[in-house]
Amino acid sequence: MFPTPVQKAAPWVRHAYTIILPIALILWLLPLIGVAITSVRPSADLAAGNYFGIPSRFAGIDNYTAVFRDSPIGWYILNSFKVTIPTVIGAVGLACLSGFALAVYKFRANLLIFFLFVAGNFIPFQILMVPVRDMTLRAGLYDSISGLVLFHIAFQTGFCTLFMRNFITSLPFALIESARVEGVSEWRIFRYIVLPLMRPAIAALSVLVFTFIWNDYFWATVLVQGQHAMPVTAGLYSLNGQWIAAWHLVSAGSIVAAMPPVLMFFLMQKHFIAGLTLGATKG
């Protein structure tokens, strides 16, 4: 254990720790707390200069209803789900296959292909922007959900393959060898032996990719123009332009847009952190 557990420290240190902990948390989340309070502040407070005090009354219901009623944010959120869910299924599915191939078979190009996936995952988006936008336009998929989904699946396959390959490498290889001796076909080895063991990796990766895609802003602005296919990140930005100085609405909208990944994180916390820290302990 490092640092020394506070239980072993002098009593004053122990007390100080329990006091400092919540104060540090409040300071750390101060910007967020500010926004949360603003989102339940009546607009009259903002007009009267009451920016930091206690809200004169709880206007949360008014503000959040106004956001959903007067703006297409509900639609944007639906779009985000329509982009995110197929991407998660597609990218994780493809990565199960390619990760299996790279982890189980020894062939000459193995490492080369693996590092191609790894490197592709780190490149700046801008180097892809012009050709991908052009290709999407020519395929008639510009400004559509499917255009966005196809790109995201392809790009996320890089990271997901890296993840899956490392996970399958940590499984006992003797399992596959004994199955081969028994005459089990390669597809069945994948489908009935390895895939069931991959469940924790699939869960971790799904939560992670969900968050990445939900929070994507760049591709949403490059590949989508109109409201009908716009995800909530780009939608929130355009609403921000309309709600000038209506900070109570901007705040409420921000909180709504942040909710799905936040809920996902708290529900699937164990998987999320397992996914994120893969490789931080060994590697």
Partner 1 sequence: MPALSSTHINILSKVAAMSSTVSATSGFWKRNQQRLAPWLFLAPGMIMFSIYVIIPIFQSIWISFYDWDGLGPKTWIGLGNYAELLDDEAFYTSLKNNILWLVLYLLAVPAGLAVALFLNQTVAGIRLYKSLFFFPFVISQVVVGLIFTWFYAPDFGLLSALIKTLTGENVAILADERYVTLGIIAAGLWPQIAYCMILYLTGLNNINPEQVEAARMDGARGWSLLWNIILPQLGPATFIAIVVTVIGALRSFDLVSIMTDGGPYGSSRVLSFYMYEQALSEYGYRMGYGAAIAVVLFMIMMVFITLFIVRMLMRERHA
User: Between 126-138 and 145-169, two packed helices, what is the crossing angle to 10 degrees?
Assistant: 130
- Smallest distance, partner 1 to C-beta of residue 229, A: 17
12 binds partner 1 (CB under 8 A): no
Number of residues that bind partner 1 (CB under 8 A): 117
Query: Residue 233: how many CB atoms within 10 A of its CB?
Result: 18
- Subset of residues 175 to 234 that bind partner 1, contact rule: CB under 8 A: 175, 178-179, 182-190, 192-193, 196-197, 211, 214-215, 217-218, 221-222, 233-234
237 binds partner 1 (CB under 8 A): yes
Whole-angstrom distance, CA of residue 258 vs CA of residue 266: 13
Residue with tokens 């944010």: 73
Residue pair 10/28 in contact (Cβ under 8 Å)? The answer is no
Whole-angstrom distance, CA of residue 278 vs CA of residue 208: 12
- Smallest distance, partner 1 to C-beta of residue 57, A: 19
- Smallest distance, partner 1 to C-beta of residue 81, A: 14
- Smallest distance, partner 1 to C-beta of residue 154, A: 3
> Which one-letter amino acid corresponds to residue 233?
T
- Subset of residues 133 to 162 that bind partner 1, contact rule: CB under 8 A: 133-135, 150-151, 153-155, 157-158, 161
247 binds partner 1 (CB under 8 A): yes
- Smallest distance, partner 1 to C-beta of residue 7, A: 8
DSSP class of 280: S
85 binds partner 1 (CB under 8 A): no
Residue pair 168/99 in contact (Cβ under 8 Å)? The answer is yes
18 binds partner 1 (CB under 8 A): yes
Whole-angstrom distance, CA of residue 44 vs CA of residue 276: 43
Pick the stretch among 13-21, 56-64, 69-77, 198-206 that binds partner 1 (CB under 8 A): 13-21
Q: How many residues does the chain have?
A: 283
76 binds partner 1 (CB under 8 A): no
Q: Which is nearer to partner 1, 60 or 253 (CB)?
A: 253
Q: What is the dihedral of CA 275, 154, 143, 138, to 10 degrees?
A: 170
Q: Which is nearer to partner 1, 36 or 66 (CB)?
A: 36
List Cβ neighbours of 206 (8 Å cut-off, separation of 6 or more): 88, 92, 271
- Smallest distance, partner 1 to C-beta of residue 190, A: 7
- Subset of residues 91 to 130 that bind partner 1, contact rule: CB under 8 A: 94-95, 97-98, 100-102, 104-105, 107, 110-111, 113, 115-120, 122-130
Whole-angstrom distance, CA of residue 207 vs CA of residue 14: 36
Residue pair 237/229 in contact (Cβ under 8 Å)? The answer is no
Q: Which is nearer to partner 1, 74 or 111 (CB)?
A: 111
